[in-house]
Amino acid sequence: MDATRGLAAGSIGLAGVAGSWLPLGFLLAGGGSVFGIALALLGVVLGAVLVAASVLLYRSDIATRGVLRIGGWHFLGIAVLGLILGLVELYVPGALPAFAAADIVLVSAFAHLLIGYNDVRQIRADELADRNRRLDVLSQVLRHNLRTEAQVLLSHADGIQRSGTLDAAAASGKRVEQRAESLAALNEKVGEVYWAMEFDADDTAPTPVAPTLESVANEYRTRASVTVDCSCPSDASVSAGERLERAIGYLVSDALVDDTADQEVTLTAEAVADGIEIRVASPDGHITDTERELLEGGTEITQLNHSRDIDLWVAQWIVDAYGGTFRIDEDAPGSCVAIRLPRSR
């Protein structure tokens, strides 16, 4: 049994039982007018509906965070109307019969229950749209990259067959090995994409900024001149997880246009009002206008209109999963991506 889910759904049923008690008592006492009986019946029916809704909500396929959200809307409906009716009672004592006040609160609770359900449905629809877009991006980029890698592998395989010397065959074999490693890395990135789409908040933990940047810098210093400029406090941490390091690594990898040794990448971090901003900049990097538009959602991806690689996408989705923001600095020379994450509490 999910205690959190049970508490959220159970609070709705409990409100239904408690709210219908006064109207039910009025009915059992008898002697009321037709209108009073009608109002009391409405309260009893609404109470029963809330109890039934709580059971259905608990057993539904709505995620627990969605159930909590619906429960929050329901509580808001009770709290607001309850406060107003309480003030009315203080201003004009006895202005409303107790069962009629209970009816009004139950109507508000039921209305806010519907509002909460529609809110969660809309959020789910947006999540599904975002998920479909990510799968579309993944499909297009993977098809492009796999087709390219397959052509290169076939070319190298043909080179091995035509090699006149053992050294030439070994060289072609080495290039095949490099392409195979590239495909293995691509497979890991695909795993990151699916993790981001099925993100579990339990992965979030305080993640130190400075050590994370240094770890990424050490990984890529054999390929480029990577410097770290961390102006935030040495003990600064963000609310993220182990995949933050991979996201920053993907940004560095995307900034490296080739394997020449004179490339430069700078990793900076600074404290800002709403968290920590980490920037990955390279004067040699290049993010095309098409990639900017795609990443910002300004255009739809097609077979002829897609990113050259998936690194930027995966980095963006990891940051999104941790509740951060992802931004391309268009004014910076070369390429510059800024990610902002909330400080850990």
Give percent above pLDDT 70 in the chain: 79
Q: Comparing 88 with 163, which gets the higher pLDDT?
A: 88
Q: Is residue 201 scored above 60 in pLDDT?
A: no
In the predicted structure, residue 37 carries a pLDDT above the cut 90:
no
The per-residue pLDDT for 4 is 84
Higher pLDDT, 114 or 200: 114
Residue 230 Cα to chain centre, angstroms: 26
Q: How many CB atoms lie within 10 A of CB 164?
A: 7
- Every domain range in the chain assigned CATH 3.30.565.10: 200-345
pLDDT at 2: 75
Q: Work out the pLDDT band at 124, boundaries 50, 70, 90.
A: confident
d(CA 200, CA 62): 15
Report pLDDT for 141. Answer: 67
Confidence class for position 222, pLDDT limits 50, 70, 90? confident
Average pLDDT over residues 16-43: 85
Q: Tell me the mean pLDDT in the region 4-33.
A: 86
First to last CA, the chain: 29
* Per-residue pLDDT tens over the stretch 311-338: 788 888 888 888 888 888 877 777 889 9
Q: Which residue has the higher pLDDT, 313 or 296?
A: 313
Residue 293, pLDDT above cutoff 70: no
pLDDT at 232 over 90: no
The overall average pLDDT reported for the chain is 80
Give the rounded percent of residues in the chain with a pLDDT score beyond 90.
Answer: 18
**Over residues 18-36, mean pLDDT:** 83
Q: What is the pLDDT of residue 296?
A: 63
* Residue 243, H or E segment: helix 243-255
Q: What angle do CA 40, 11, 13 make, to 5 degrees?
A: 45
pLDDT band at 113 (very low <50, low <70, confident <90, very high): very high
pLDDT at 275: 87
Confidence of residue 212 (pLDDT cuts 50, 70, 90): very high
Mean pLDDT of all residues in 281-301? 67
pLDDT digits (tens, 9 = 90+) for 74-85: 999 999 888 988
This prediction's pTM: 0.60
Cα–Cα dist 240/217, whole Å = 19
Q: 102 Cβ partners below 8 Å, 6+ apart?
A: 19, 20, 21, 22, 23, 43
Residues 6+ apart with CB under 8 A from 311: 189, 250, 251, 253, 254
Burial of residue 271 (number of CB atoms within 10 Å: 0-12, 13-18, 19+): middle
pLDDT at 150: 72
The CATH class for the domain spanning 200-345 reads alpha beta
- Residue 246: its pLDDT value, please? 86
- Confidence at residue 248, expressed as pLDDT on a 0 to 100 scale: 92
Mean pLDDT throughout 59-71?
88
